[in-house]
Structure 1
Amino acid sequence: MGRRSDHNRDELHELILAAGSALVAQVGLSGFSAREVARRIGYSIGTIHNVFGSIDRLIAAINTRSFVAWTADLQRALDAAGDGDRIAALVDGYFAFAHANPTLWTAIYDHRLAPTDLSDADQIARGALTEIIVVEVARALACPVDQQVSTLARSLIATVHGHCAFSVSGAWALMGETAPEAAALSRVRETLAVT
Protein backbone atom coordinates (compact mmCIF):
# COMPACT_ATOMS: atom_id res chain seq x y z
CA MET A 1 0.00 0.00 0.00
CA GLY A 2 1.34 3.43 -0.95
CA ARG A 3 1.90 6.41 1.30
CA ARG A 4 -1.44 8.14 0.91
CA SER A 5 -0.85 11.35 2.86
CA ASP A 6 2.89 12.00 2.99
CA HIS A 7 2.76 14.78 0.38
CA ASN A 8 0.41 17.57 -0.62
CA ARG A 9 -0.80 17.86 -4.23
CA ASP A 10 2.03 20.15 -5.38
CA GLU A 11 4.63 17.89 -3.80
CA LEU A 12 3.02 14.86 -5.43
CA HIS A 13 3.01 16.62 -8.80
CA GLU A 14 6.77 17.25 -8.57
CA LEU A 15 7.51 13.80 -7.14
CA ILE A 16 5.63 12.05 -9.95
CA LEU A 17 7.09 14.32 -12.61
CA ALA A 18 10.66 13.82 -11.40
CA ALA A 19 10.25 10.04 -11.22
CA GLY A 20 8.56 9.96 -14.63
CA SER A 21 11.34 12.03 -16.19
CA ALA A 22 13.98 9.81 -14.64
CA LEU A 23 12.21 6.72 -15.98
CA VAL A 24 11.95 8.12 -19.51
CA ALA A 25 15.63 9.09 -19.32
CA GLN A 26 16.49 5.49 -18.41
CA VAL A 27 14.20 3.45 -20.67
CA GLY A 28 12.68 5.83 -23.21
CA LEU A 29 9.04 6.30 -23.97
CA SER A 30 8.65 2.76 -25.27
CA GLY A 31 9.65 1.38 -21.86
CA PHE A 32 7.65 3.92 -19.87
CA SER A 33 5.10 2.59 -17.40
CA ALA A 34 2.93 4.57 -15.02
CA ARG A 35 2.93 1.55 -12.75
CA GLU A 36 6.70 1.76 -12.55
CA VAL A 37 6.51 5.46 -11.72
CA ALA A 38 3.98 4.68 -8.99
CA ARG A 39 6.21 1.90 -7.65
CA ARG A 40 9.23 4.21 -7.56
CA ILE A 41 7.43 6.87 -5.55
CA GLY A 42 5.57 4.48 -3.27
CA TYR A 43 2.08 5.54 -4.31
CA SER A 44 -0.67 3.84 -6.29
CA ILE A 45 -1.24 4.40 -9.99
CA GLY A 46 -4.54 6.00 -8.97
CA THR A 47 -2.55 8.81 -7.36
CA ILE A 48 -0.91 9.54 -10.71
CA HIS A 49 -4.31 9.68 -12.38
CA ASN A 50 -5.65 11.93 -9.62
CA VAL A 51 -2.75 14.38 -10.00
CA PHE A 52 -2.33 14.37 -13.79
CA GLY A 53 -5.71 13.19 -15.05
CA SER A 54 -4.23 10.68 -17.46
CA ILE A 55 -0.97 9.04 -18.43
CA ASP A 56 -0.93 11.13 -21.62
CA ARG A 57 -0.97 14.29 -19.54
CA LEU A 58 1.85 12.95 -17.37
CA ILE A 59 3.94 12.25 -20.47
CA ALA A 60 3.08 15.71 -21.80
CA ALA A 61 4.28 17.21 -18.52
CA ILE A 62 7.50 15.17 -18.70
CA ASN A 63 8.05 16.45 -22.24
CA THR A 64 7.35 20.03 -21.18
CA ARG A 65 9.91 19.58 -18.40
CA SER A 66 12.40 18.44 -21.07
CA PHE A 67 11.58 21.52 -23.17
CA VAL A 68 12.25 23.76 -20.17
CA ALA A 69 15.64 22.10 -19.56
CA TRP A 70 16.49 22.29 -23.25
CA THR A 71 15.53 25.98 -23.42
CA ALA A 72 17.74 26.69 -20.40
CA ASP A 73 20.63 24.86 -22.10
CA LEU A 74 20.16 26.92 -25.27
CA GLN A 75 20.06 30.14 -23.27
CA ARG A 76 23.28 29.17 -21.47
CA ALA A 77 24.92 28.45 -24.84
CA LEU A 78 23.85 31.88 -26.10
CA ASP A 79 25.05 33.57 -22.92
CA ALA A 80 28.43 31.87 -23.33
CA ALA A 81 28.60 32.97 -26.98
CA GLY A 82 28.03 36.61 -26.04
CA ASP A 83 28.53 38.66 -29.19
CA GLY A 84 30.28 35.75 -30.90
CA ASP A 85 28.77 33.15 -33.21
CA ARG A 86 25.31 32.84 -31.73
CA ILE A 87 23.91 30.77 -34.61
CA ALA A 88 26.64 28.17 -34.09
CA ALA A 89 25.86 28.26 -30.37
CA LEU A 90 22.21 27.48 -31.10
CA VAL A 91 23.01 24.56 -33.42
CA ASP A 92 25.57 23.23 -30.94
CA GLY A 93 23.08 23.60 -28.10
CA TYR A 94 20.39 21.78 -30.08
CA PHE A 95 22.67 18.83 -30.75
CA ALA A 96 24.23 18.87 -27.27
CA PHE A 97 20.88 18.53 -25.50
CA ALA A 98 19.73 15.74 -27.81
CA HIS A 99 22.95 13.78 -27.40
CA ALA A 100 23.10 14.29 -23.63
CA ASN A 101 19.42 13.31 -23.21
CA PRO A 102 18.55 11.06 -26.16
CA THR A 103 15.56 9.28 -24.66
CA LEU A 104 14.04 12.44 -23.18
CA TRP A 105 14.63 14.30 -26.46
CA THR A 106 13.15 11.49 -28.55
CA ALA A 107 10.12 11.23 -26.24
CA ILE A 108 9.23 14.83 -27.10
CA TYR A 109 8.62 13.79 -30.69
CA ASP A 110 7.36 10.25 -30.10
CA HIS A 111 4.43 11.28 -27.89
CA ARG A 112 1.48 12.60 -29.83
CA LEU A 113 -0.97 14.87 -28.08
CA ALA A 114 -3.05 17.49 -29.86
CA PRO A 115 -1.93 21.04 -29.06
CA THR A 116 -5.46 21.71 -27.84
CA ASP A 117 -4.89 19.02 -25.19
CA LEU A 118 -1.89 20.90 -23.78
CA SER A 119 -2.38 23.42 -21.02
CA ASP A 120 -1.60 27.06 -21.66
CA ALA A 121 1.40 26.71 -19.34
CA ASP A 122 2.68 23.73 -21.37
CA GLN A 123 2.31 25.62 -24.64
CA ILE A 124 4.09 28.68 -23.28
CA ALA A 125 6.95 26.60 -21.85
CA ARG A 126 7.36 24.67 -25.09
CA GLY A 127 7.13 27.80 -27.22
CA ALA A 128 9.96 29.50 -25.33
CA LEU A 129 12.54 27.36 -27.13
CA THR A 130 11.24 28.38 -30.55
CA GLU A 131 11.05 32.02 -29.52
CA ILE A 132 14.73 32.04 -28.58
CA ILE A 133 15.56 30.78 -32.06
CA VAL A 134 13.20 33.24 -33.79
CA VAL A 135 14.86 36.16 -31.98
CA GLU A 136 18.35 34.93 -32.91
CA VAL A 137 17.42 34.44 -36.57
CA ALA A 138 16.05 38.00 -36.64
CA ARG A 139 19.26 39.20 -35.00
CA ALA A 140 21.41 37.37 -37.56
CA LEU A 141 19.39 38.95 -40.37
CA ALA A 142 19.41 42.38 -38.67
CA CYS A 143 15.65 42.66 -39.03
CA PRO A 144 12.65 42.77 -36.71
CA VAL A 145 10.77 39.67 -35.64
CA ASP A 146 7.79 39.27 -37.95
CA GLN A 147 5.80 36.43 -39.47
CA GLN A 148 8.34 35.89 -42.27
CA VAL A 149 11.23 35.62 -39.81
CA SER A 150 9.18 33.32 -37.56
CA THR A 151 8.39 31.04 -40.49
CA LEU A 152 12.04 30.99 -41.59
CA ALA A 153 13.21 30.20 -38.05
CA ARG A 154 10.79 27.26 -37.82
CA SER A 155 12.05 25.96 -41.16
CA LEU A 156 15.64 26.21 -39.91
CA ILE A 157 14.62 24.34 -36.75
CA ALA A 158 13.25 21.57 -38.99
CA THR A 159 16.53 21.46 -40.91
CA VAL A 160 18.64 21.21 -37.77
CA HIS A 161 16.18 18.77 -36.23
CA GLY A 162 16.44 16.40 -39.20
CA HIS A 163 20.21 16.34 -39.01
CA CYS A 164 20.05 15.90 -35.24
CA ALA A 165 17.48 13.08 -35.40
CA PHE A 166 19.64 11.19 -37.90
CA SER A 167 22.64 11.76 -35.65
CA VAL A 168 20.91 10.54 -32.47
CA SER A 169 19.45 7.48 -34.22
CA GLY A 170 22.76 6.54 -35.85
CA ALA A 171 21.32 6.86 -39.35
CA TRP A 172 23.78 9.62 -40.21
CA ALA A 173 26.75 7.33 -39.48
CA LEU A 174 25.14 4.54 -41.51
CA MET A 175 25.15 6.88 -44.49
CA GLY A 176 28.90 7.25 -44.08
CA GLU A 177 28.69 10.83 -42.88
CA THR A 178 30.68 11.94 -39.86
CA ALA A 179 29.73 15.56 -39.17
CA PRO A 180 25.98 16.05 -38.89
CA GLU A 181 26.25 19.13 -36.70
CA ALA A 182 28.65 20.85 -39.11
CA ALA A 183 26.35 19.97 -42.02
CA ALA A 184 23.33 21.38 -40.18
CA LEU A 185 25.19 24.58 -39.37
CA SER A 186 26.26 24.90 -43.02
CA ARG A 187 22.65 24.56 -44.21
CA VAL A 188 21.54 27.21 -41.72
CA ARG A 189 24.33 29.59 -42.76
CA GLU A 190 23.55 29.06 -46.46
CA THR A 191 19.89 29.85 -45.87
CA LEU A 192 20.61 32.95 -43.81
CA ALA A 193 23.10 34.19 -46.42
CA VAL A 194 20.53 34.17 -49.23
CA THR A 195 17.61 35.49 -47.18
Structure 2
Amino acid sequence: MGRRSDHTRSELETLFVDEGRRQLAEVGLAKFSARDVAKRAGYSIGTVYNVFGSYDGLMVAINARTLRLWAQDLRERLAAADPAGRIEALVRGYFEFAEENPKSWIAVYEHHMADGGPAPQWYQDVATEIMGIVAAEIAAALPSPDPAKAIALARSLVATVHGHCVFALYRTFDLLGETAPAEAALARVREALAAAGAAG
Protein backbone atom coordinates (compact mmCIF):
# COMPACT_ATOMS: atom_id res chain seq x y z
CA MET A 1 0.00 0.00 0.00
CA GLY A 2 1.28 3.49 -0.81
CA ARG A 3 2.24 5.95 1.87
CA ARG A 4 -0.32 8.48 2.99
CA SER A 5 0.08 11.98 4.40
CA ASP A 6 3.88 11.81 4.24
CA HIS A 7 4.14 14.90 2.05
CA THR A 8 2.30 18.12 1.35
CA ARG A 9 0.75 18.63 -2.09
CA SER A 10 3.69 20.80 -3.14
CA GLU A 11 6.15 18.17 -1.93
CA LEU A 12 4.22 15.49 -3.82
CA GLU A 13 4.41 17.52 -7.02
CA THR A 14 8.17 17.77 -6.66
CA LEU A 15 8.52 14.10 -5.71
CA PHE A 16 6.52 12.86 -8.70
CA VAL A 17 8.19 15.20 -11.16
CA ASP A 18 11.65 14.20 -9.92
CA GLU A 19 10.79 10.51 -10.13
CA GLY A 20 9.09 11.03 -13.48
CA ARG A 21 12.16 12.70 -14.94
CA ARG A 22 14.34 9.84 -13.69
CA GLN A 23 12.08 7.27 -15.31
CA LEU A 24 11.74 9.26 -18.53
CA ALA A 25 15.51 9.54 -18.80
CA GLU A 26 15.76 5.75 -18.47
CA VAL A 27 12.97 4.47 -20.71
CA GLY A 28 11.77 7.35 -22.89
CA LEU A 29 8.22 8.51 -23.52
CA ALA A 30 7.02 5.36 -25.32
CA LYS A 31 7.60 3.21 -22.23
CA PHE A 32 6.90 5.88 -19.63
CA SER A 33 4.33 4.86 -17.00
CA ALA A 34 2.62 7.11 -14.47
CA ARG A 35 1.82 3.97 -12.48
CA ASP A 36 5.53 3.11 -12.27
CA VAL A 37 6.29 6.68 -11.18
CA ALA A 38 3.76 6.34 -8.36
CA LYS A 39 5.08 2.92 -7.35
CA ARG A 40 8.71 4.02 -7.28
CA ALA A 41 7.76 7.08 -5.23
CA GLY A 42 5.85 4.87 -2.78
CA TYR A 43 2.36 6.13 -3.58
CA SER A 44 -0.70 4.89 -5.46
CA ILE A 45 -1.53 5.95 -9.01
CA GLY A 46 -4.60 7.64 -7.54
CA THR A 47 -2.36 10.03 -5.64
CA VAL A 48 -0.60 11.01 -8.85
CA TYR A 49 -3.92 11.77 -10.51
CA ASN A 50 -5.15 13.65 -7.45
CA VAL A 51 -2.09 15.90 -7.70
CA PHE A 52 -1.88 16.36 -11.49
CA GLY A 53 -5.39 15.51 -12.65
CA SER A 54 -4.30 13.09 -15.39
CA TYR A 55 -1.37 11.46 -17.15
CA ASP A 56 -1.15 14.56 -19.33
CA GLY A 57 -0.94 16.75 -16.25
CA LEU A 58 2.02 14.75 -14.98
CA MET A 59 3.77 14.83 -18.36
CA VAL A 60 3.25 18.57 -18.74
CA ALA A 61 4.77 19.13 -15.29
CA ILE A 62 7.77 16.94 -16.14
CA ASN A 63 8.30 18.64 -19.51
CA ALA A 64 7.99 22.06 -17.87
CA ARG A 65 10.82 21.13 -15.50
CA THR A 66 12.95 20.10 -18.48
CA LEU A 67 12.23 23.36 -20.27
CA ARG A 68 13.08 25.44 -17.19
CA LEU A 69 16.37 23.59 -16.74
CA TRP A 70 17.13 24.12 -20.42
CA ALA A 71 16.38 27.85 -20.23
CA GLN A 72 18.58 28.12 -17.15
CA ASP A 73 21.38 26.30 -18.98
CA LEU A 74 21.15 28.69 -21.94
CA ARG A 75 21.22 31.74 -19.67
CA GLU A 76 24.31 30.44 -17.91
CA ARG A 77 26.02 29.85 -21.25
CA LEU A 78 25.17 33.37 -22.39
CA ALA A 79 26.47 34.83 -19.14
CA ALA A 80 29.81 33.12 -19.74
CA ALA A 81 30.02 33.94 -23.47
CA ASP A 82 32.00 36.81 -24.91
CA PRO A 83 29.97 39.35 -26.93
CA ALA A 84 30.98 37.88 -30.29
CA GLY A 85 30.17 34.33 -29.25
CA ARG A 86 26.63 34.60 -27.93
CA ILE A 87 24.90 33.13 -30.98
CA GLU A 88 27.36 30.25 -31.03
CA ALA A 89 26.72 29.69 -27.31
CA LEU A 90 23.00 29.36 -28.02
CA VAL A 91 23.46 26.89 -30.89
CA ARG A 92 25.93 24.73 -29.00
CA GLY A 93 23.77 24.96 -25.89
CA TYR A 94 20.80 23.66 -27.88
CA PHE A 95 22.78 20.64 -29.03
CA GLU A 96 24.56 19.91 -25.79
CA PHE A 97 21.44 20.05 -23.60
CA ALA A 98 19.72 17.64 -26.00
CA GLU A 99 22.73 15.33 -26.06
CA GLU A 100 22.95 15.31 -22.26
CA ASN A 101 19.18 14.77 -21.77
CA PRO A 102 18.09 12.96 -24.96
CA LYS A 103 14.95 11.15 -23.80
CA SER A 104 13.70 13.99 -21.62
CA TRP A 105 14.44 16.51 -24.37
CA ILE A 106 12.63 14.61 -27.11
CA ALA A 107 9.64 14.04 -24.81
CA VAL A 108 9.03 17.81 -24.86
CA TYR A 109 8.26 17.47 -28.58
CA GLU A 110 6.75 13.96 -28.65
CA HIS A 111 4.12 14.42 -25.96
CA HIS A 112 0.72 15.69 -27.10
CA MET A 113 -2.41 16.18 -25.03
CA ALA A 114 -4.72 13.16 -25.20
CA ASP A 115 -7.70 15.25 -26.31
CA GLY A 116 -5.74 16.78 -29.15
CA GLY A 117 -6.11 20.24 -27.64
CA PRO A 118 -3.45 22.73 -26.59
CA ALA A 119 -1.36 22.41 -23.46
CA PRO A 120 -2.35 24.62 -20.51
CA GLN A 121 -1.52 28.31 -20.93
CA TRP A 122 1.00 28.28 -18.08
CA TYR A 123 2.92 25.52 -19.88
CA GLN A 124 2.81 27.42 -23.17
CA ASP A 125 4.32 30.37 -21.32
CA VAL A 126 7.15 28.16 -20.07
CA ALA A 127 7.67 26.71 -23.55
CA THR A 128 8.00 30.16 -25.15
CA GLU A 129 10.68 31.21 -22.67
CA ILE A 130 13.45 29.63 -24.73
CA MET A 131 12.17 31.33 -27.87
CA GLY A 132 12.28 34.61 -25.97
CA ILE A 133 15.92 34.04 -25.04
CA VAL A 134 16.79 33.34 -28.67
CA ALA A 135 14.74 36.26 -30.01
CA ALA A 136 16.51 38.68 -27.65
CA GLU A 137 19.88 37.60 -29.01
CA ILE A 138 18.65 37.81 -32.61
CA ALA A 139 17.29 41.30 -32.00
CA ALA A 140 20.64 42.38 -30.55
CA ALA A 141 22.46 41.05 -33.61
CA LEU A 142 20.25 42.81 -36.17
CA PRO A 143 21.14 46.29 -37.43
CA SER A 144 17.88 47.86 -36.26
CA PRO A 145 15.53 46.88 -33.43
CA ASP A 146 12.42 45.24 -34.84
CA PRO A 147 10.82 42.81 -32.35
CA ALA A 148 8.45 41.32 -34.94
CA LYS A 149 11.31 40.63 -37.36
CA ALA A 150 13.46 39.22 -34.56
CA ILE A 151 10.83 36.76 -33.32
CA ALA A 152 10.00 35.61 -36.87
CA LEU A 153 13.67 35.03 -37.63
CA ALA A 154 14.18 33.36 -34.24
CA ARG A 155 11.41 30.85 -35.00
CA SER A 156 13.01 29.93 -38.32
CA LEU A 157 16.49 29.65 -36.85
CA VAL A 158 15.29 27.53 -33.93
CA ALA A 159 13.56 25.25 -36.44
CA THR A 160 16.80 24.98 -38.40
CA VAL A 161 18.88 24.14 -35.35
CA HIS A 162 16.21 21.78 -34.03
CA GLY A 163 16.14 19.83 -37.28
CA HIS A 164 19.90 19.42 -37.23
CA CYS A 165 19.73 18.38 -33.58
CA VAL A 166 17.03 15.74 -34.16
CA PHE A 167 18.95 14.32 -37.11
CA ALA A 168 22.04 14.13 -34.91
CA LEU A 169 20.25 12.42 -32.01
CA TYR A 170 18.57 9.86 -34.24
CA ARG A 171 21.86 9.33 -36.12
CA THR A 172 20.22 10.27 -39.41
CA PHE A 173 23.24 12.39 -40.23
CA ASP A 174 25.38 9.25 -40.07
CA LEU A 175 23.53 8.03 -43.15
CA LEU A 176 23.91 11.39 -44.89
CA GLY A 177 27.61 11.81 -44.25
CA GLU A 178 27.34 14.86 -42.00
CA THR A 179 29.99 14.52 -39.29
CA ALA A 180 29.64 17.91 -37.59
CA PRO A 181 25.92 18.72 -37.25
CA ALA A 182 26.34 21.46 -34.65
CA GLU A 183 28.85 23.25 -36.84
CA ALA A 184 26.55 22.86 -39.85
CA ALA A 185 23.62 24.31 -37.88
CA LEU A 186 25.76 27.21 -36.71
CA ALA A 187 26.84 27.91 -40.29
CA ARG A 188 23.19 28.03 -41.44
CA VAL A 189 22.30 30.39 -38.58
CA ARG A 190 25.18 32.71 -39.41
CA GLU A 191 24.20 32.73 -43.09
CA ALA A 192 20.62 33.66 -42.22
CA LEU A 193 21.74 36.41 -39.85
CA ALA A 194 24.13 37.81 -42.45
CA ALA A 195 21.33 37.85 -45.00
CA ALA A 196 19.21 39.78 -42.48
CA GLY A 197 21.97 42.37 -42.14
CA ALA A 198 23.58 41.24 -38.89
CA ALA A 199 27.18 42.30 -38.42
CA GLY A 200 30.05 39.81 -38.62
- Smaller-chain TM-score range? over 0.9
Pair 145,24 (structure 1): closer, same or farther in 2 beyond 3 Å: farther
- Alpha-carbon distance in structure 2 between the residues aligned to 1:71 and 1:100: 14
Pair 14,181 (structure 1): closer, same or farther in 2 beyond 3 Å: same
Greater Cα offset, 139-148 or 153-162: 139-148
- Alpha-carbon distance in structure 2 between the residues aligned to 1:115 and 1:132: 26
- Map of 1:135-146 to 2, 5 A cutoff? 135-146=136-147
- Alpha-carbon distance in structure 1 between the residues aligned to 2:117 and 2:100: 27
- Alpha-carbon distance in structure 2 between the residues aligned to 1:144 and 1:4: 55
Question: 2:69: which partner in 1?
Answer: 69
Residue ranges of structure 2 left out of the alignment (5+ in a row): none
Question: 1:118: which partner in 2?
Answer: 120
Superposition misfits of 4+ residues, deviation over 6 angstroms: none
Q: Secondary structure at the match of 1:5?
A: coil
CA RMSD of the aligned region, Å? 1.2
Pair 189,115 (structure 1): closer, same or farther in 2 beyond 3 Å: farther
C-alpha displacement of 1:115: 6.7
Question: 1:44: which partner in 2?
Answer: 44
- Alpha-carbon distance in structure 2 between the residues aligned to 1:28 and 1:64: 16
- Alpha-carbon distance in structure 2 between the residues aligned to 1:21 and 1:34: 11
Pair 63,145 (structure 1): closer, same or farther in 2 beyond 3 Å: farther
C-alpha displacement of 1:38: 0.7
% identical equivalent positions: 50
- Alpha-carbon distance in structure 2 between the residues aligned to 1:119 and 1:149: 23
Question: 2:135: which partner in 1?
Answer: 134
Cα deviations by residue, 1:122-180 (Å, 9 ceiling, x for unpaired)? 22222111100000001111432511210110110000000000001111112111010
- Alpha-carbon distance in structure 2 between the residues aligned to 1:97 and 1:11: 27
Greater Cα offset, 57-66 or 108-117: 108-117
- Map of 1:38-187 to 2, 5 A cutoff? 38-113=38-113, 116-120=118-122, 122-187=123-188
Residue ranges of structure 1 left out of the alignment (5+ in a row): none
Q: Secondary structure at the match of 1:84?
A: helix
The amino acid that maps onto 1:187 is: R
- Alpha-carbon distance in structure 1 between the residues aligned to 2:117 and 2:84: 35
Cα deviations by residue, 1:105-125 (Å, 9 ceiling, x for unpaired)? 1101110136743142x2222
- Alpha-carbon distance in structure 1 between the residues aligned to 2:88 and 2:82: 12
C-alpha displacement of 1:54: 0.3
- Alpha-carbon distance in structure 1 between the residues aligned to 2:156 and 2:107: 21
- Alpha-carbon distance in structure 2 between the residues aligned to 1:66 and 1:54: 19
Query: How many aligned residue pairs are there?
Result: 194
User: TM-score, normalized by length of structure 2?
Assistant: 0.93
